[in-house]
Structure 1
C-alpha cells in the first residue's frame, strides 16, 4: 500500500472510531492505533537489510512477526489479517468483493502513557522499573536458541554498513559525517584485536536467537513489562551476542541521559546471569553500544531521506547527529583504553 491508500484505509475502514485514531510512521511501517486494537502494515520497501517489496513477502513477514513476538508478548499479538480493496475503499479483515492488497498484524492496544520512552522523557523511570525487565530478559535469554557457525567478524561488516549514508549526511550535517570513516577504521581495528574473544563468544553459546531491537520504545511498563516488536525481517540481525542485545537497551538509556541507570541495569542483569566475566568483555560491551548508536544513526538517516516535511527532515537529522556523536564517544573510550594498555 501507499501512504495515500493507508490514509484512505483510515477514512473508509475506521469511520466509526471518530478522532480516536493515531497513525505512527517509521521508515519501514505504518501503525494504525485505535482504542482497542493496533494494526501494523509493512511499507513496500527494499533495503539491504530487508525486503517488503511484494505482497507475498509482506504476508510472510507479518506471520513471522506474530510468531517470533509470541515468545515475549503472546497476549499482545492477535494474528494477521488481509486488507481488502473494493473500488476506492479499503477494509481490514472482512472478505467480500474486491481484492487483497496487503496484510496487517493485529495487536492489542496498550496504554500509551506506559511506554518506556515516554516515561524516560518525563523523568519518571527508576531502577525498580528496570529490575523486572532484566528478570524477564534473563528468562527469555536463558531459553533462547543458541546459534552456531556465526562469522565472528560479521559485526565489523555490519558496523561498516553505515558508510552508505556518508554522502547524504555529509551534504546535510557537514563535518559531523566525518565521524563515520574514523569510527569504521576504529571498528576494524577493534574486531581484529579481539578476534579470539569474538570466536570464543560464539563457541561458548553466547550467540542466541533473541529480540534484536531492544530499546525503550519497544517496552511497556505495565504490571509486568511487555517487550514487543522484535526483528522479524532478518535472522542475522536477531541472532546476536547477548551482550549486543543488552547494549541496545543500555545505549538507549545512555542517550536519554540515564547513564547511571544504564550501568545499574547491566550490573543487575550480569549478577543474576553472568554473560560478562572479564575486562575484555566489558570493552566488547562498549563496542556493541557504539555499534547500536551507529545503527540508530543510519536508521535516522534513512528517515531523513524519506521525510515528507522540513520538520520531519530536521528531526531525523538531529537524531542522526546525536547518535553519531554518541558512537564517537564510545569508540574514543575504546581507543583510549587500548592506548593505556599499551603504555
Structure 2
C-alpha cells in the first residue's frame, strides 16, 4: 500500500544527535562537494557529487517506527537488501556516521556510531521514468522494456506463504476506515467505492486463492510506480522498494504491476500501460490460464483508491491542498470506473504479410475492453516460442511446416480462450489466410459467449513489398519472395470487414475504431498521425 505521505501518529521529539548529523551531511559530509537535500515523510536524502546518502528520520508512525538509531539502521539494511538485487549499481552499503572523542562527526569513521546512512550511487534525475514520461511520454520500445523488467523482477522475488484473500481484505479494511473520515474531501463516492470493492473481492475469492496456490504471492516491490523506476544503462530498473512493512510489501505480483499500470493510465498513457501489460505477460505468463486477469479491475481500482487517500492526506499538510483534493477525486473516479469493466470482446486481424496487422493491432489494443486494453496475441511471436527460438532469429522452412503452423494456430486460439474466460478482451494477430482459420477464430468467441469482430486488411503488392523492405528487425520472417508468393494465393471467401491499409495509420485506426464503436460503446480517435508499416 502506498503510504508515502501519511501523517505521523504523534509528534516525535527532536533528536539532537540527528540534528547534528543533518548539519554534517548538509555540509557535504567531508566529501568535497556541496549537498542538495531532498525530504520525504520518513527520510532525508543528501545528494553530494556522485553519491546519495539516505538517512531515516527520527519519527514514529502508526505503520513505521524510526524512533531509535538501531531501528533506523535495521530498516536501512532491509532497504539495501531489497533493492541491491534489482539495482546493484545504485545501492552500495550502509555506513555509520561516527562521533570522535572531540565531538567531530565523520562518515564511516573510527568513533561511536550516532547515525546510519544508506550510501547509493547518484543517478541523473532525468533518468527517472516519471521525468521521461512527463517530458516525452513512453514509447513502445520503452514500455516493452518496462514490462519485461518487471517480469524479471517478479520472477526473482521470493514466494511468501500468505493468503491473497487476507492481504486484500486488510487493505480494503484500512481504506474503509480512512475513507469514512474523508467524506468532505472525496464525497459520497468514497464509501460507495468501499462497498463495491469489498463485493468485488468477495466475488474473486476463488481466483485470489488460486493465485496463492500457484505461487503468485511474493515479496514484491510494494511501491512500483513511475517515480520508482529509473533507466540504468537504458534498462528500466525498479528501486526504492517498500521496506518498512513485510506484509505490505507482500502481494500478488499482478497487484504489484497494477500500481504501474494505474499510474500510466492516470497520466493519460493508456497505450503505454497496454504495452507494459502485454510485454509482462509474454515473459511472466506464457500459460495465460492463470494470469489472474479477472483480478485486474479490482487491483487497478484499489491502487487508484490508495492514491486518492494519499492525496487527501497530503492536502491536509501541504500548500495547494485544493489541487491535491481535485487529484484525489480524479483518482477516486478512476477507482470507481475500474470496477465496472466492459464485457470482453475478441477482435481478430487477418491479412497477408505487410498489410500492417501488428502495427494496427498494437495501435488499437488499449482502446479495446477493460483497462489497460486487450491482450495482443501474435502468431509470429507464438511460433518462435513454441520452437524455443529467439524472437528475432529467423526460422527456416521447417518452422513453417504444416504441423508447426497448425500447432501455432491451435495455441493462439487456446490462449485467446484463456484470456476471454477471465473477462478480458483479446486481439488475435495472424494471417488467418484460409476460411477454416477464420471460422475457427470466430469459434473461440462463440465458445466464450462474447462478441467477435473479424477484420481483413488489404494492401497492394508493391505497398507490402515496400513495407517489408523497410521493416526493422522483427518477429516476422516475411521477405519479398514470400510476399510475391502470397500475391498468387487465394484466401477464399472473406466475410470479415475489409480495410484498405494503404492510408495513413491514423486514418486506418479511426476507420476501425468507428467499426468497433457499436461493440465498445464509443472509442477515442486521437491516435497521432503515422503510416502503417
TM-score bucket (shorter structure): 0.7 to 0.9
Match 2:248 to one of 221, 237, 241 = 237
Contact map agreement 1:152 1:199 (CA 8 A) in 2: yes
Which digits, 9 at most, give the CA deviation of each residue in 1:7-50, with x for residues without a partner?
5233444476555x322112221111122110111122333332
Which of 56, 81, 84 lines up with 2:95 in the alignment? 81
**Shift in alpha-carbon separation, 1:228–1:26, aligned structure 2, 3 A:** same
**Contact 2:221/2:256 (8 A) holds in 1:** yes
Deviation at 1:149, TM superposition (A): 3.8
CA distance in 2, matches of 1:276, 1:259: 24
1:281 offset after TM fit, Å?
3.6
Distance in 2 of aligned mates of 1:179 and 1:5: 47
Match of 2:303 among 292, 304, 309: 292
The 1:167–1:327 alpha-carbon spacing in structure 2 relative to 1, beyond 3 Å, is closer
Q: 1:222 to 1:50 in 2, by over 3 A?
A: same
The question of 1:158 aligning with 2:164 is answered: no
CA distance in 1, matches of 2:120, 2:52: 5
Which residue pairs with 1:8 in the alignment?
Answer: 23
Q: Which has the higher contact order (CA 8 A, sep 6+)?
A: 1
User: How far apart, CA to CA, are the structure 2 residues paired with 1:280 and 1:106?
Assistant: 38
Cα separation, 2, equivalents of 1:147 and 1:51: 23
Moved more, 145-154 or 294-303: 294-303
1:326 aligns with 2:331: yes
Deviation at 1:324, TM superposition (A): 4.3
Instruction: Determine if the alignment matches structure 1 residue 215 to structure 2 residue 236.
Output: no
Question: Where does residue 71 of structure 1 map in the other structure?
Answer: 85
Question: 1:101 and 1:179, CA in 2 relative to 1: closer, same or farther beyond 3 A?
Answer: farther
My pick for the range that moved more, 10-19 or 34-43, is 10-19
Whichever of the two has the greater Rg, that structure is: 2
Answer yes or no: is the 8 Å Cα contact 2:143–2:275 preserved in 1: no
Q: Which residue in the other structure is 2:69 paired with?
A: 55
* TM-score, structure 2 normalization: 0.56
More helix by share: 1
SS at match of 2:109: coil
Does 2:259 correspond to 1:254? no
Rounded Cα–Cα distance in structure 1 between residues aligned with 2:262 and 2:252: 15
- The answer as to whether partners of 2:58 and 2:68 remain within 8 angstroms in 1 is yes
Distance 2:180 2:20 in 1: 32
SS in 2 for 1:152: helix
How many residues matched?
327
- SS of the residue corresponding to residue 161 of structure 2 reads coil
Residue from 204, 219, 229 that aligns with 2:214: 204
Instruction: Label 1:271 to 1:323 Cα distance change in 2 as closer, same or farther (>3 A).
Output: farther
- Give a deviation string over 1:230-261, Cα, whole Å, max 9, x none: 11111112221011011011111112211111
Moved more, 106-115 or 23-32: 23-32
What SS does the corresponding residue of 2:285 show, helix, strand or coil?
coil
Are the structure 2 counterparts of residues 115 and 336 from structure 1 closer, same or farther at C-alpha, using a change threshold of 3 Å? Answer: closer
- Which of 188, 197, 205 is residue 187 of structure 1 equivalent to? 197
- TM-score by length of structure 1 reads 0.83
Q: Give the Cα–Cα distance (whole angstroms) in 2 for the partners of residues 333 and 276 of structure 1.
A: 25
Which of 205-214 and 141-150 deviates more?
A: 141-150
Q: Is the contact between residue 225 and residue 260 of structure 2 (CA under 8 Å) also seen in structure 1? A: yes
Q: Map residues 109-148 of structure 1 onto 2, 5 A cutoff.
A: 109-148=122-161
* Change in CA separation of 1:275 and 1:6 when aligned onto 2, cut-off 3 Å: farther
Q: 5+ unaligned residues in a row in structure 1: which ranges?
A: none
User: What is the DSSP-based 3-state SS (H/G/I as helix, E as strand, rest coil) of the residue aligned with 2:211?
Assistant: helix
Post-superposition shift, 1:175? 4.6
CA displacement, residues 186-225 of structure 1 (integer Å, 9 cap, x when unaligned): 1111111111111111112111122111111111123222
RMSD: 3.0
Which deviates more, 49-58 or 35-44?
A: 49-58
Q: Gapped runs of 5+ residues in structure 2?
A: 1-14, 344-422, 424-533
What's the CA shift for 1:318?
A: 3.3
SS at match of 1:234: coil
CA–CA distance in 1 between the matches of 2:87 and 2:250?
A: 18
